[in-house]
Chain A
Amino acid sequence: GESVGLHLPTLSVQEGDNSIINCAYSNSASDYFIWYKQESGKGPQFIIDIRSNMDKRQGQRVTVLLNKTVKHLSLQIAATQPGDSAVYFCAEIRSTGGGNKLTFGTGTQLKVEL
């Protein structure tokens, strides 16, 4: 399944299916992006990151794709498991005169159905 946007949509997938979570970032000058996973009542956890000079980066069961032309970032989770249920949000980082500025998206709620 897929989701779009920076609101807090809900993506429901069957266990074992692949999940695609999308993020539209705002600033074309952003040069670094991070995906975080946040389980209910806990702090966010780092999943994977990617620099703007890359189109794709793979981790264990996760892949991040970056399309700078349309300012779009996606997180693909292979063989989704119940433990993947959480809110996922992206963060974009850009360099400014005063240091690096991080902007977080609002997140997507992923629900894994058995």
Chain B
Amino acid sequence: DGGITQSPKYLFRKEGQNVTLSCEQNLNHDAMYWYRQDPGQGLRLIYYSQIVNDFQKGDIAEGYSVSREKKESFPLTVTSAQKNPTAFYLCASSGITRDRAMGANVLTFGAGSRLTVL
């Protein structure tokens, strides 16, 4: 089965600690994304990567870091500089669809990781 796997599903962090969320995809997608979801708000883009060894800041990149050493993997590190890290984090990927008329922007999402700061 092709898809996106995020781990861990639940993570607890003490203040001042860095934590890394894993995202792996076997869809052969070029682009990968990290979003943050808070109650009552739309998804907000943290970082995205359109190709291996390249990534760009999204709208709320401060306090986060990423790497893209392999096509399949796009880990997100939540650093101690992120002042309000408690949230639901979603990883997504996208690639060229069979139906080019509908574009390459259909994101496939992982199941999410819920981070709680104690």
Contacts and interface: CB of A to CB of B under 8 A. Distances in A.
A78 B45 CA distance: 32
Main secondary structure of the interface of A (DSSP, over half): strand
Nearest to A53: B101
A42 interface: yes
B106 A49 contact: yes
B76 to A, nearest CB: 14
Given A7-B40, A104-B42, A104-B43, A42 B102 contact: no
Interface in B83-118: 90, 92, 101-103, 105-112, 114
Contacts of B105: 32, 34, 93, 100, 102
A102 B42 CA distance: 11
A95 to B, nearest CB: 10
Contacts of A41: 112, 114
B42 A43 contact: no
Interface string A82-114: 000000010101000001101111110000000
Nearest to A93: B105
A6 interface: yes
Contact of A43 (B50, B101, B109): B109
Interface residues of B, number: 23
Contact of A106 (B42, B92, B106, B112): B42
Nearest to A105: B42
B70 to A, nearest CB: 21
Given A93-B103, A99-B50, A106 B40 contact: yes
B102 A46 contact: no
25 contacts: A6-B42, A8-B39, A32-B105, A34-B106, A34-B107, A41-B112, A42-B111, A42-B112, A43-B4, A43-B6, A43-B90, A43-B111, A43-B112, A46-B107, A49-B103, A49-B106, A51-B101, A51-B102, A93-B105, A99-B50, A100-B103, A102-B45, A102-B107, A103-B42, A107-B42
Given A6-B42, A51-B101, A106-B42, 9 more contacts: A7-B40, A34-B105, A43-B112, A44-B90, A44-B109, A45-B109, A91-B107, A104-B43, A106-B41
